[in-house]
Structure formats: structure tokens, C-alpha cells
Amino acid sequence: MSATVRLLFSRSFIKPTTSASIRSQLASPNNKFSWVRSASHYTASTLKANFDNEFHKDNGFHKHPIKMGKRQFNGKPGKFRKKQKKVVVASEGSPEEVLLHDINALLETLTVADVADEGATEAQAEAKPEVEKVEGEEKVEGKTEGKEEAETKPELLAQGTEIEAEVLSLSSTGDGLAKQKGSDSNHIYVVPFTVPGDVVKARVYRHVPQDGYSHADFLEVLTPSPLRDDSRIQCKYFAKCSGCQFQMLDYSEQLKHKRSIVVKAYKNFSNLSPELVPEVLDTIGSPLQYGYRTKLTPHFDGPPGGNRRGFKKPMEEMPPIGFTPKGLRKVMDIEDCPIATDAVRAGLKAERERMSKEFASYTRGATILLRESTKRVPKPADGSEIAVPDLKPGVLSTPIITPAADGSYTDFKTCITDNNATSTEYIDSFIFQNPAGSFFQNNNSILSPFTDHIRQHILPPANSLPEGAKPIKNLIDAYSGSGLFTITQSSLFPGGSIGIDIADKSIDFARRNARLNGLDESQCKFIAADAPKLFESVAGLDADETVVVLDPPRKGCDASFLRQLMQFAPRRVVYVSCNVHTQARDVGVLVRGRVGDTFGEAFVDPTEGEKKMSRYVIESIRGFDFFPQTGHVEGVAILNRVDE
């Protein structure tokens, strides 16, 4: 069998059979199989069948094409039979899907290396004299062949088996991807808390045989990688708690890896050819690498046997309070968390003390909110000492006192545990108040450079505008929440900044925040709008004079929103995301100017009376490290409308 054929039959192509695995192999702009327009349209079995069909057809083995779509119905439909709605799911950038892309890329690399080695061996064999025909085999010039060389699946190790694993690469999920040391098999083991170059002892606990990999618990380092320095680790729970992955890595290496996460996200999820994606810029780091998290939500489980319906069993002892270990469901007891701020760490200690006295009153598990809140007191004009202000009740009897570097004010920080209480946060001179249990960025230290970066790039460079182009005057902040971008960027837009959100409560707090920052409605206003009609509320704005900021949840934008956006056609788009994989997917939609390729909806050319959808070109892509020591990275993509 030739090296090329053997490569096509290798595990990296035909072993995966789940929808996610087929997508990761075949949803590529360079894919040679014409029937793959969007791998998310088809089920795993259909994709696999068509792959087999195309492969055999290319090699003369198959002459009957497999039809896509619904199977034919040979009789009349039943009277009451309901028409089945075809459900198409776009890629969600889930950890499983992201991991599978990285595993398949590694498998392909390993397979190519194996084929190259075997090709050299075959070349040597072909130089040898002919051999006599062996029964059941055909005599060929230089070698024998006839019994099909079959790729055999590696025998899976029993769960609980301990192995020596050599870590080859680092996944975008933060896990190490390893091979069993000394094994000829290319079976991949996903081992957390490791870095490339490590040789570790790991315990196998779960197999994913259809995708060619297994999960294993990290046990110990046998030979450390040059990248590893365990003296950097500042948490005694590291390598058990699932919160952090990279405490053993130098921070510069963490930022390099996070840039690679963004690069791979656009390679695997944007469905764009490489020339349409600019070089990803270096990731901007967090000013604080520890002590930065302003919110934690530790939890505890209920008493054993106490979750049966109608049966309430009080706790007999204080439960473990903390977070879930990697690969397990049982809560791990956590006494302290060094990536949290001092106020939140003090709050965790206080809550643990409270629970040690009150645990018997609980009959089920719960989640504890720990949210930092700040009271800022300016320095008195007479130069006198700043007195501790009266603070709303919190879990801290004594606040954490943080003076400004220039002495102009002092921050008094407490920790809130009531979801419905109001927390206060400052970004430079801006003040924001939110329900303590609602979403707001959890790393205050990076918000100043982050919002400044947006401020520096939200408008196009002066020399980039064509002659006669209108200046941008308006900002639309979609998914505005409590007004982070609407408020911090408002000074740049003489036409005003408008925040739009579907949540009435978020809009109420956004309006309050605008007033707190001295902004009237002519400068900054907020609109609660239904998702299907999001842009109708701003239809009066000139799109040529407008920039739109997007900051959607992790799942990204839906097809309806992207269609509205491209029909409104703002001159410039700034897309902020906590999930760079769904960001890449959505940016691909904006660049192609079509929704259907990604979301499975048939694209129809606009009919008379419908507004044509614009397309965009990417100006820049950059990551921001909101969560040092973890595998998470925030993405900022800036796009400009293509005028055709």
C-alpha cells in the first residue's frame, strides 16, 4: 500500500465518528470533498458515509453516490403525521470540540511522521531482488503484497492503569496531550497540569475510543520539561483543583500559549482561508497574575441521602466547601484561593467560619457568592486623614484598605454574599454598580488597559478613510449589559452612544451607571429591545457614521442577530468575546457576508425590497489575558465594512 493511501486510512481521518470529530476533520475551506459545505449540516453517520464514498470513488472502488438530505418516502404521508423540523446546530466551540481539533492535528502530525518513516523503509525494500510468490500473496517487483495492510485499533488500557506519558503538546483547553512512553501506538492521553516536554505518571480513567484518545489523571512528574518550574506554584491545591492549569509556567509562556489559542480558533472555526485572517497580535497580559479575581462562587454538596423527594436530612458535619476537582463531581474542600483578591479571600475565610457554626441548618447543597465591592473616598482638601466610611453590611468586619498610588483617594473593599445586593466597582474614574450576583468582568486590574485599547481602536485610523468618507459619530453597544463600553467610550462619539440589551434589569442598572458618571441621554442612552428586532430601535442612525461593539455570551451571536447586523451594515465592528472559538465562527460569517454557511440556513439572494447584507474584512485580532494561570483568553477582533 502506498504512503498516500495509508495516510488516508490512518486514524486521523477515518477513526473519528462523532459529529464534533467529523467537523474538525472536514469543515475546512481547503477541503477537497465538494459535498462538505458546512460539516455542521450533517450527522456523524452521514458525514462518515460520504467520506467513505468519496474516498472509494476517487480510487475507483465505488460508482454509486450517496444522496444527502431526507430519505425518499415511497408512500403517502399519514393523515396526522407531523412534518419533522430539520435541526441544524452550529459549532458552539465547546471544550470537547476544541480538544478534538487539537488531538486530530497532533494525530495528523504523528501519522505524517510515521508515513515518512515507512516510506523510507519501503524505498529500501523496493531496491531488494524479487522474491518468489507466497501462497495468498501476489509477487510484485521489489516486494510482496496482497494481504491488505490493515490499521488495527490499539488495545485500550484498563481504567485505573498507571502509565508513563510523554507530553507532546498543549491543548487550547489547557490540558497536555501525551503518548504512552515506549509505545508504538499513536493513542493520545489527555493529561491536565502538564506542559510539553514533561514525562509524567498518569492514571487512565476514561476512554473516548471513537475519537482516538483517553483521559488520564496527573499523578506526578517523572522528568520535568524545561518549561516547568514548580517553585512558581502558589496554591497548595494546584494539580487537584480544576481552577488553574498553568501555575508552573512562566507568565510570558502563558501569554504565548494564549496567542496560539486564538490562532487555532480562527484556523479551526472561522471557515476562512488563511489569507483572509491577519496575523494574530501578541496577547496583552494582566497587570496582576495573582490576587485579581473579584468574584468566586464556591459551593458545597448536600448530605448523603438527603436529595430524595420530600425527604430533608440535616447535615451532621460541616461539608467540604470549595470547587470540583478535575474529572470528578465531588466538591473539594478549599480553604484559600490565591488568584482571588484580598477581600474575596477574607470573605471565603469568613464564610467558612460561618458554615462551621450553621451547617446543621442546611438540608441541601448550595453555592456561596463572594463578590468584591469598593467604596472610594477622596482625600480631604485639608489634608487630614481619611476616616473609615460607614459601609453596607458585608462578611468583613474590617474592610481591605487600598490607597491610590498618588494618594488622591483610598478604596475600602468589602466582600458581598447577597446575590441581590449592589456591588460597586471603579475603572479609572468610571464607576459601575451591578447586582452582586450578575455578570461583570472578574479581573478589575485589566479593565483599565482593556477599555483603553478599545478606546484607541474603536475608530478607524485617520489615514485609512477614503476621501469624502463621513466621520464616525455614533456608537451602538450590542449586548451592553450594565454599560461597560457604552459609558467608557462615550466621549468619542458626538452623535451619542447607545446600549442595547434584551434584559430589562441590565438596562435599569446601565441607566443608573450613566447618571453616576454624569452622562445625560444625549451622550449615553440605553434601550431594551427584543432580540429579533434589535436594530429596529436604531434604524434612524446612518450606518456610515456608526461603529458597533459586540460582547456576546460564550455561545456567541445567533443567526438572527448576525443577519440584522449585516443588513444594518455599520462601517466598523469591534467584536469582544470570552470564547474566541465562537468569535472566530461569527467573524467568519461577517467576512463571508453569509449566515447560512455556518448556521445551516439556506442563503437566498435578497429579493426586491430586502436590504442586502454587507460583508467585512478583518483589521486586527488580539487576545487579552483576563484569567492568568488558566487556559482562558479574551479576544478582540476589529472589522471594517467592504464597500462594493
The binding site consists of 441, 479, 501, 551
Q: Which residues contact 387 (CB under 8 A, 6 or more apart)?
A: none
How is 124-184 classified by DSSP, letter by letter? HHHTSPP-PPPTTSEEETTEEE-S--PPPPPPPPPTT-EEEEEEEEE-TTS-EEEEETT--
b (16+ CB within 10 A) / e for 108-125: bebbeebbeeeeeebeee
Residue 312: how many other CB atoms lie within 10 Å: 12
**C-alpha cell at position 562:** 448576525
Phi-psi region of 338 (alpha: psi -120 to 50; beta: other; left: phi over 0): alpha
Is residue 22 within 8 A of residue 131, CB to CB? The reply is no
C-alpha cell at 154: 490499539
CB 177 within 8 A of CB 102: yes
Listing DSSP states for 94-111 in one string gives -HHHHHHHHHHHHHHHHH
Please state, in angstroms and rounded to a whole number, the distance separating the CA atoms of residues 572 and 406.
38
CA neighbor of 104 nearest in space, from 33, 17, 203: 17
Catalytic residue among 235, 244, 557, 578: 578
What is the DSSP track for 168-196?
EEE-TTS-EEEEETT-----EEEESS--T
Residue type, 434: N
Cα(366)–Cα(364) distance, rounded to whole angstroms? 7
Residue 593 grid cell: 457576508
Q: What is the DSSP letter of 275?
A: G
Neighbours of 325 (CB within 10 A): 17
Q: Is the dihedral of CA 268, 272, 273, 276 positive or negative?
A: negative
Residue ranges of the alpha helices (H) in 236-333?
Answer: 251-269
| DSSP sequence for 437-498 | TS---SBHHHHHHHHHHHHHHSSPPGGGSPTTPPPP-EEEEET-TTTHHHHHTGGG-TTEEE
Q: Provide the angle, in degrees to the nearest 10, between the axes of the packed helices 580-592 and 559-568.
A: 40
Report the distance separating Cα 146 and Cα 59, nearest Å.
17
- CA–CA dist 244, 148 (Å, integer): 47
Q: From CA 545, how far away is CA 474, in angstroms rounded?
A: 6
Q: Do the Cβ atoms of 415 and 395 come closer than 8 Å?
A: yes
3-class secondary structure, 312: coil
Give 501's strand partners: 528
Question: Could you confirm whether 578 is annotated as catalytic?
Answer: yes
Which residues define the annotated binding site for S-adenosyl-L-methionine?
A: 441, 479, 501, 551
The closest alpha carbon to 431, from 453, 416, 409, belongs to 409
CA distance 605 to 107: 40
Q: Active-site residue numbers? A: 578
